[in-house]
Homo-oligomer: A and B are copies of this chain.
Amino acid sequence: MLSKVRSTAQECLADVPDGATVLVGGFGMAGMPSELIDALIAQGAKDLTIVSNNAGNGTVGLAALLKAGRVRKVICSFPRQTDSFVFDELFRAGRIELELVPQGNLAERIRAAGAGLGGFFTPTSYGTPLADGKETRVIDGRGYVLDYPIKADYALIKAHLADRWGNLVYRKTARNFGPIMAMAAKTSVVQVDRIVELGELDPEVVVTPGIFVSRVVALGAAHPTTEAAA
Protein backbone atom coordinates (compact mmCIF):
# COMPACT_ATOMS: atom_id res chain seq x y z
CA MET A 1 0.00 0.00 0.00
CA LEU A 2 1.30 3.38 -1.01
CA SER A 3 1.35 5.83 1.87
CA LYS A 4 3.35 9.01 2.00
CA VAL A 5 1.94 10.00 5.36
CA ARG A 6 4.50 10.50 8.13
CA SER A 7 3.78 11.22 11.79
CA THR A 8 6.24 14.00 12.51
CA ALA A 9 8.18 16.72 10.77
CA GLN A 10 11.34 15.20 12.28
CA GLU A 11 10.69 11.87 10.55
CA CYS A 12 10.20 13.69 7.24
CA LEU A 13 13.63 15.30 7.37
CA ALA A 14 15.78 12.74 9.18
CA ASP A 15 17.85 11.95 6.08
CA VAL A 16 18.80 15.44 4.86
CA PRO A 17 22.59 15.33 4.36
CA ASP A 18 25.07 18.15 4.74
CA GLY A 19 25.46 20.05 1.49
CA ALA A 20 21.91 19.42 0.31
CA THR A 21 20.04 21.84 -1.93
CA VAL A 22 16.67 22.59 -0.35
CA LEU A 23 13.76 24.41 -1.96
CA VAL A 24 11.67 26.30 0.59
CA GLY A 25 8.16 27.34 -0.43
CA GLY A 26 6.25 30.39 0.60
CA PHE A 27 5.92 34.00 -0.39
CA GLY A 28 5.97 36.13 2.70
CA MET A 29 4.40 33.99 5.39
CA ALA A 30 1.77 32.57 3.03
CA GLY A 31 2.80 29.01 2.28
CA MET A 32 5.87 29.19 4.49
CA PRO A 33 6.56 25.67 5.85
CA SER A 34 7.59 27.02 9.23
CA GLU A 35 7.39 23.78 11.21
CA LEU A 36 9.42 21.92 8.58
CA ILE A 37 12.09 24.61 8.71
CA ASP A 38 12.16 24.29 12.50
CA ALA A 39 12.58 20.53 12.11
CA LEU A 40 15.42 21.10 9.66
CA ILE A 41 17.11 23.36 12.20
CA ALA A 42 16.71 20.67 14.85
CA GLN A 43 17.95 17.98 12.45
CA GLY A 44 21.30 19.66 12.08
CA ALA A 45 22.25 19.42 8.38
CA LYS A 46 24.70 22.14 7.40
CA ASP A 47 26.35 23.66 4.35
CA LEU A 48 22.93 23.90 2.74
CA THR A 49 21.92 25.74 -0.41
CA ILE A 50 18.50 27.28 0.15
CA VAL A 51 16.27 28.24 -2.76
CA SER A 52 13.36 30.46 -1.79
CA ASN A 53 11.80 33.72 -2.92
CA ASN A 54 13.13 35.63 0.07
CA ALA A 55 15.96 35.17 2.54
CA GLY A 56 14.18 35.12 5.86
CA ASN A 57 12.28 37.58 7.99
CA GLY A 58 12.83 38.51 11.61
CA THR A 59 14.46 35.78 13.69
CA VAL A 60 12.24 32.77 12.92
CA GLY A 61 11.96 30.22 10.12
CA LEU A 62 14.52 30.72 7.33
CA ALA A 63 16.15 33.54 9.27
CA ALA A 64 16.73 31.17 12.21
CA LEU A 65 18.25 28.58 9.86
CA LEU A 66 20.58 31.24 8.47
CA LYS A 67 21.38 32.54 11.96
CA ALA A 68 22.36 29.01 13.01
CA GLY A 69 25.07 29.15 10.35
CA ARG A 70 23.76 26.23 8.38
CA VAL A 71 23.36 27.86 4.99
CA ARG A 72 26.22 28.25 2.55
CA LYS A 73 24.28 29.85 -0.26
CA VAL A 74 20.90 31.42 -0.91
CA ILE A 75 19.27 31.48 -4.34
CA CYS A 76 16.38 33.95 -4.27
CA SER A 77 14.77 36.94 -5.97
CA PHE A 78 14.33 39.34 -3.09
CA PRO A 79 16.57 39.01 -0.02
CA ARG A 80 16.25 42.66 1.02
CA GLN A 81 13.30 43.28 3.28
CA THR A 82 12.65 45.55 6.21
CA ASP A 83 13.24 42.69 8.63
CA SER A 84 15.86 40.64 6.75
CA PHE A 85 18.61 41.71 9.16
CA VAL A 86 19.91 38.18 9.71
CA PHE A 87 20.64 37.70 6.02
CA ASP A 88 21.92 41.26 5.66
CA GLU A 89 24.49 40.77 8.38
CA LEU A 90 25.74 37.41 7.05
CA PHE A 91 25.91 38.79 3.52
CA ARG A 92 27.80 41.93 4.51
CA ALA A 93 30.19 39.80 6.53
CA GLY A 94 30.83 37.65 3.45
CA ARG A 95 29.59 34.58 5.31
CA ILE A 96 26.85 33.65 2.87
CA GLU A 97 26.74 33.43 -0.89
CA LEU A 98 23.85 34.98 -2.83
CA GLU A 99 22.60 34.10 -6.30
CA LEU A 100 20.02 36.70 -7.24
CA VAL A 101 17.46 35.52 -9.80
CA PRO A 102 14.46 37.44 -11.15
CA GLN A 103 11.32 36.01 -9.59
CA GLY A 104 9.84 34.62 -12.80
CA ASN A 105 13.13 33.10 -13.90
CA LEU A 106 13.43 31.56 -10.44
CA ALA A 107 9.99 30.00 -10.82
CA GLU A 108 10.74 28.83 -14.37
CA ARG A 109 14.11 27.34 -13.40
CA ILE A 110 12.43 25.37 -10.63
CA ARG A 111 9.68 24.30 -13.01
CA ALA A 112 12.28 23.28 -15.64
CA ALA A 113 13.85 20.89 -13.13
CA GLY A 114 10.41 19.47 -12.44
CA ALA A 115 9.77 19.06 -16.15
CA GLY A 116 13.09 17.32 -16.85
CA LEU A 117 14.41 20.03 -19.16
CA GLY A 118 18.07 20.88 -19.62
CA GLY A 119 17.61 24.65 -19.83
CA PHE A 120 15.52 27.34 -21.49
CA PHE A 121 15.79 30.73 -23.13
CA THR A 122 14.05 33.47 -21.16
CA PRO A 123 13.59 37.11 -22.19
CA THR A 124 13.69 38.25 -18.57
CA SER A 125 16.98 39.88 -17.54
CA TYR A 126 18.23 40.17 -21.12
CA GLY A 127 20.41 43.27 -21.37
CA THR A 128 20.68 43.64 -17.59
CA PRO A 129 23.52 42.98 -15.14
CA LEU A 130 21.77 39.78 -14.00
CA ALA A 131 22.52 38.30 -17.41
CA ASP A 132 26.25 39.03 -17.10
CA GLY A 133 28.28 35.94 -17.95
CA LYS A 134 25.27 34.04 -19.21
CA GLU A 135 24.79 32.73 -22.73
CA THR A 136 22.40 34.89 -24.72
CA ARG A 137 20.75 34.46 -28.07
CA VAL A 138 18.49 36.46 -30.34
CA ILE A 139 15.59 34.29 -31.49
CA ASP A 140 13.00 35.67 -33.92
CA GLY A 141 14.34 39.16 -33.29
CA ARG A 142 14.04 39.06 -29.51
CA GLY A 143 16.89 38.72 -26.99
CA TYR A 144 16.93 35.78 -24.58
CA VAL A 145 19.16 34.51 -21.78
CA LEU A 146 19.87 30.79 -21.31
CA ASP A 147 18.93 29.71 -17.80
CA TYR A 148 19.37 26.28 -16.27
CA PRO A 149 17.08 24.18 -14.07
CA ILE A 150 17.43 24.39 -10.30
CA LYS A 151 17.43 20.75 -9.27
CA ALA A 152 17.07 20.11 -5.59
CA ASP A 153 17.49 17.29 -3.14
CA TYR A 154 14.58 18.35 -0.94
CA ALA A 155 11.60 20.65 -1.11
CA LEU A 156 9.84 21.95 2.00
CA ILE A 157 6.29 22.94 1.16
CA LYS A 158 3.11 23.94 2.92
CA ALA A 159 -0.21 22.88 1.45
CA HIS A 160 -3.78 22.73 2.74
CA LEU A 161 -4.91 19.11 2.37
CA ALA A 162 -3.24 15.87 1.31
CA ASP A 163 -4.26 12.24 0.91
CA ARG A 164 -1.99 9.24 1.43
CA TRP A 165 -0.96 9.17 -2.25
CA GLY A 166 0.39 12.69 -1.75
CA ASN A 167 -2.23 14.52 -3.80
CA LEU A 168 -2.34 18.13 -2.67
CA VAL A 169 -4.62 21.12 -2.67
CA TYR A 170 -3.44 24.51 -1.50
CA ARG A 171 -5.20 27.48 0.03
CA LYS A 172 -5.42 30.91 -1.61
CA THR A 173 -2.08 32.64 -2.26
CA ALA A 174 -0.25 30.09 -0.11
CA ARG A 175 -0.07 28.04 -3.32
CA ASN A 176 2.71 30.19 -4.82
CA PHE A 177 5.88 28.05 -5.21
CA GLY A 178 4.42 24.79 -3.86
CA PRO A 179 3.38 23.07 -7.09
CA ILE A 180 6.66 23.70 -8.92
CA MET A 181 8.90 22.96 -5.94
CA ALA A 182 7.14 19.62 -5.41
CA MET A 183 8.02 18.77 -9.03
CA ALA A 184 11.64 19.82 -8.81
CA ALA A 185 12.98 18.02 -5.73
CA LYS A 186 14.11 14.42 -5.45
CA THR A 187 12.37 14.28 -2.07
CA SER A 188 9.47 16.67 -1.61
CA VAL A 189 8.19 17.05 1.93
CA VAL A 190 4.85 18.71 2.53
CA GLN A 191 3.27 19.93 5.72
CA VAL A 192 -0.49 20.19 5.48
CA ASP A 193 -3.29 21.36 7.67
CA ARG A 194 -5.00 18.01 7.46
CA ILE A 195 -4.78 14.55 5.85
CA VAL A 196 -7.95 13.36 4.18
CA GLU A 197 -9.05 9.89 3.10
CA LEU A 198 -8.06 8.67 -0.34
CA GLY A 199 -10.88 9.65 -2.68
CA GLU A 200 -11.96 12.69 -0.68
CA LEU A 201 -10.13 15.07 -3.02
CA ASP A 202 -12.04 15.59 -6.25
CA PRO A 203 -9.79 14.39 -9.13
CA GLU A 204 -10.60 17.63 -10.95
CA VAL A 205 -9.29 19.93 -8.21
CA VAL A 206 -6.04 18.26 -7.16
CA VAL A 207 -3.36 20.87 -7.82
CA THR A 208 -0.24 18.79 -7.19
CA PRO A 209 -0.59 15.15 -8.29
CA GLY A 210 0.77 12.79 -5.63
CA ILE A 211 3.45 11.52 -8.03
CA PHE A 212 5.42 14.71 -7.23
CA VAL A 213 5.18 14.27 -3.47
CA SER A 214 7.40 12.09 -1.28
CA ARG A 215 6.22 12.68 2.29
CA VAL A 216 3.31 14.48 3.92
CA VAL A 217 2.74 15.35 7.55
CA ALA A 218 -0.33 16.97 9.12
CA LEU A 219 0.60 19.85 11.38
CA GLY A 220 -2.59 21.90 11.65
CA ALA A 221 -3.59 25.21 10.17
CA ALA A 222 -2.12 28.68 10.51
CA HIS A 223 -5.22 30.40 9.19
CA PRO A 224 -8.89 30.83 10.15
CA THR A 225 -10.40 27.32 10.29
CA THR A 226 -14.07 28.05 9.91
CA GLU A 227 -15.84 25.77 7.49
CA ALA A 228 -16.16 28.65 5.07
CA ALA A 229 -12.41 29.18 5.05
CA ALA A 230 -11.58 25.50 4.67
State whether the Cβ of A118 lies closer than 8 Å to any Cβ in chain B: yes
The minimal Cβ–Cβ distance linking A117 to chain B, given in whole angstroms, is 5
Interface size class of A (residues with CB under 8 A): 20 to 34
Known contacts A139-B148, A205-B204; decide if A115 and B108 are in contact (CB<8 Å): yes
State whether the Cβ of A69 lies closer than 8 Å to any Cβ in chain B: no
Stretch at the interface among A11-19, A34-42, A89-97, A119-127: A119-127
Q: Are A120 and B121 in contact (CB under 8 A)?
A: yes
Known contacts A204-B205, A205-B205; decide if A123 and B115 are in contact (CB<8 Å): no
Q: How far is the CA of A144 from the CA of B205 in the complex (A)?
A: 33
Known contacts A148-B139, A169-B204; decide if A120 and B117 are in contact (CB<8 Å): yes
Q: How far is the CA of A172 from the CA of B202 in the complex (A)?
A: 11
User: Which residues in B have their C-beta under 8 angstroms from that of A115?
Assistant: 108
A residues 46-91 near B (Cβ < 8 Å) are: none
Q: How far is the CA of A128 from the CA of B142 in the complex (A)?
A: 30
Known contacts A148-B139, A169-B204, A204-B169; decide if A121 and B119 are in contact (CB<8 Å): yes
The minimal Cβ–Cβ distance linking A134 to chain B, given in whole angstroms, is 13
State whether the Cβ of A116 lies closer than 8 Å to any Cβ in chain B: yes
The minimal Cβ–Cβ distance linking A112 to chain B, given in whole angstroms, is 7
Q: Are B123 and A118 in contact (CB under 8 A)?
A: yes
Q: Are B123 and A120 in contact (CB under 8 A)?
A: no
State whether the Cβ of A194 lies closer than 8 Å to any Cβ in chain B: no
Q: How far is the CA of A205 from the CA of B175 in the complex (A)?
A: 12
